[in-house]
Structure 1
């Protein structure tokens, strides 16, 4: 099996948390996931995200998925 290529998806969760003045711990509680899982996402180490989690994050931060992620060229 060939080695997995690194992804180019960048998560803007840190910026959105700052804009909404909410902590990672508070967001984790609102979304229903652990702060560790959100930290993995925030630090661009996640390999996947459930649509239900993405929906909950977008609801909590009043944003769209395109505001949370971008693809680096």
Structure 2
């Protein structure tokens, strides 16, 4: 998928665990792992907004486009 997810980078910068982020955002650790590992097919804007609020970042800090990696 051409969209890469950089939640790990922001977690490291904020010195926060996956479990703490999931709890503060209001999603399960399993669903956060799906998103974090790039296996999600979609993300709700409300979830993205909550992630940005908790991590004090912009959506572009969490998501980026990688050229040349398309699904067809």
TM > 0.5: yes
1:58 is matched with which residue: 34, 39, 52? 52
User: CA–CA distance in 2 between the matches of 1:33 and 1:51?
Assistant: 13
Return the structure number with greater relative CO, CA threshold 8 A, min gap 6: 2
Structure 1 segments, 4+ long, off by >2 Å, are: none
The gaps in structure 1 that reach 5 residues or longer are 1-6
Q: How does 1:1-73 map to 2 (within 5 A)?
A: 7-73=1-67
Unaligned runs of 5+ in 2: 68-72
Cα root mean square deviation, aligned = 0.5
Q: Give the number of equivalent residue pairs.
A: 67
TM-score normalised over the length of structure 2: 0.91
Q: 1:34 Cα shift?
A: 0.3
